[in-house]
Amino acid sequence: MVAPAGTQEYEVVSAEFSSERPNVIPAGESKTQPYAVGNGGLLPVVTYLEPASEGVEVQPRELYVEGQSVANATVTLHAPPETGYYRRFVTEHRYLAVLPLP
């Protein structure tokens, strides 16, 4: 069974300077940020996170989330060497964990 999921968009500005804003990244460098996966239901879910564009990494790619809890992953956003505005995407797929994990 599949539970609701979707795609998360990150707006990245590749800049020639450093900034405290999480979406401004010096050109050619990377920033990491947490990605929280919440489960408000009663049944546990298995969530698969996939980079849906270039310039993004996700660790771990698979999360087991108990009912009524939150698990965390890390998203690393890479800014290209060229300055400008870029969009990055992470896709999340959720499945009810009704069978034991292998």
pLDDT at 46: 94
pLDDT at 3: 64
Task: Domain 2-96: give its CATH architecture.
Answer: Sandwich (2.60)
pLDDT for residue 2 is more than 60: no
Tell me the percentage of the chain whose pLDDT exceeds 90: 83
Q: What is the mean pLDDT of residues 8-18?
A: 95
pLDDT for residue 6 is more than 80: yes
pLDDT at 101: 67
pLDDT at 102: 67
- The domain spans of the chain are 2-96
What is the average pLDDT value for the chain, to the nearest integer? 93
pTM of the model: 0.89
Residue 65 Cα to chain centre, angstroms: 15
- How far is the CA of 89 from the CAs of 12, 28, 68, 75, 83, in angstroms? 11, 18, 26, 10, 19
Q: Which residue has the higher pLDDT, 73 or 19?
A: 73
